[in-house]
């Protein structure tokens, strides 16, 4: 790989001092964090492996223009932890990991950058398997595949391609479960649903909702994209500033995380929050409690958006589209079980979900321990 490259499991002393990184890793349960840099291609990436008790860590690669390196690291840590719980609660035999690339996905991408990143993924020998995420595409995964086999979501030859249709079906199924728990029936017909985000998952979700008879309000920071999608599906565009104040029955976050916080929750008018975005709660317990106190049912994000993981997990085992779609529909039952458990045990829904995931991790951990990856070509 051309240019000056670095690959390390250690942060600089400056970052360690400011972030107390090892204390953070231990408190969140992470096994490994890897920093990747290639000066020639402009690659700056963070790979976080959270837990491999159930199998190799699988999680997408996100590309975003983070405001700081610390913000990128924080995102990687939270997202990778969410992937562990997502796999555990959905019954997938994979661990949790995530990667973030620092840069603007609209202007900074190149084949060379993603191939350089692919070589970094390859050095982990299968402890981490990557996939598409926010800011990356099937084409990007195909570039990564030129350098490593540890990538899913590529097109053709057994690849599953874009996972967003499966993710959206899972979110819709989870939303139907939350509707049943709230209003006694699982149809969204006649309900007002505010969808935040106009990406691939949101696009397919809006299609499900409008077909079901919901009245959909749509927004995104890229307003023209949202307007085009709204026109296509018969939804109503609203400005990003109105996303938390528009009267609705369901609020569906499908963009970036931490949008349920001290400032936004008091403005919500909905009865249900259910969407495809990861890490929607800025402070998991505090803001889940705030939602409960306002009688707003929160469908845990990593549960309802686990269809994408099911999709790429199937690719690892041998892709079966019909099986994957059935699995995504089963998110209805998984979500309902969590909501019932929360009610019966007087828990927050996120607490019930975490408890179910942790129970599975504890039962399996003694069988597998830490996944050490595939043997190298020299067998060592």
Catalytic positions, written as ranges: 98
Residue 10 CB contacts under 8 Å (≥ 6 apart), including other chains: 35
C-alpha–C-alpha distance, residues 317 and 326, integer Å: 16
Strand order through the sheet with 297-298: 236-237, 215-219, 192-196, 250-253, 272-273, 297-298
Look at the block and give the residue holding tokens 């690339």. 101
46 in Cβ contact with 117 (< 8 Å) = no
- Burial environment of residue 361 by CB neighbours within 10 A (0 to 12, 13 to 18, 19 or more): buried
C-alpha–C-alpha distance, residues 70 and 15, integer Å: 8
Task: 213-217: list long-range contacts, CB under 8 Å, 24+ apart.
Answer: 213/187, 213/188, 213/189, 214/188, 214/189, 214/190, 214/250, 215/190, 215/191, 217/192, 217/193, 217/246, 217/248
Pairing of strands 236-237, 215-219: parallel
Q: Which residues are registered as beta bridge partners of 63?
A: 101
State the Rg of the chain over Cα: 20
């Amino acid at each position: 790989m051309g240019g000056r490259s670095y690959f390390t499991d250690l942060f600089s002393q400056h970052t360690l001092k400011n972030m107390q990184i090892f204390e953070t890793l231990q408190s969140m349960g992470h096994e490994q964090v890897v920093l990747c840099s290639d000066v020639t291609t402009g690659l700056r990436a963070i790979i976080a492996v959270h837990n491999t008790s159930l199998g190799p860590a699988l999680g997408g690669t996100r590309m975003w223009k983070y405001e700081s390196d610390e913000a990128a690291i924080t995102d990687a840590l939270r997202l990778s932890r969410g992937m562990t719980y997502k796999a555990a609660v959905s019954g997938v035999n994979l661990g949790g990991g995530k990667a973030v690339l620092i840069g603007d996905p609209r202007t900074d991408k190149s084949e060379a950058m993603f191939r350089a990143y692919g070589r970094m993924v390859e050095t982990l020998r299968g402890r981490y398997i990557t996939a598409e995420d926010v800011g990356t595409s099937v084409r990007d995964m195909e570039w990564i595949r030129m350098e490593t086999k540890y990538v899913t979501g590529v097109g053709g030859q057994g690849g599953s391609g874009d996972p967003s249709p499966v993710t959206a079906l899972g979110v819709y199924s989870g939303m139907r479960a939350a509707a049943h728990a709230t209003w006694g029936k699982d149809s969204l017909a006649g309900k007002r649903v505010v969808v935040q985000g106009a990406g691939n998952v949101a696009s397919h979700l809006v299609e499900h909702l409008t077909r079901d008879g919901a009245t959909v309000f749509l927004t995104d920071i890229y307003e023209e994209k949202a307007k085009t999608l709204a026109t296509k599906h018969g939804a109503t565009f609203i400005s990003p500033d109105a996303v938390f104040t528009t009267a609705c029955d369901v609020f569906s976050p499908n963009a970036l995380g931490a949008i349920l916080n001290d400032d936004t929750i008091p403005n919500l008018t909905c009865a249900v929050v259910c969407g495809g975005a990861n890490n929607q709660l800025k402070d998991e317990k505090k803001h889940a409690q705030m939602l409960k106190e306002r009688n707003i049912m929160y469908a845990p994000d990593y549960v309802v958006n686990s269809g994408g993981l099911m999709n790429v997990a199937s690719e690892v085992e041998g892709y079966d589209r019909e099986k994957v779609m059935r699995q995504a529909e089963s998110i209805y039952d998984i979500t309902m079980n969590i909501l019932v458990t929360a009610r019966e045990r007087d828990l927050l829904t996120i607490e019930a979900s975490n408890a179910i995931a942790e129970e599975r991790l504890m039962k399996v951990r003694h069988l597998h321990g830490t996944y050490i990856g595939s043997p190298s070509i020299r067998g060592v």
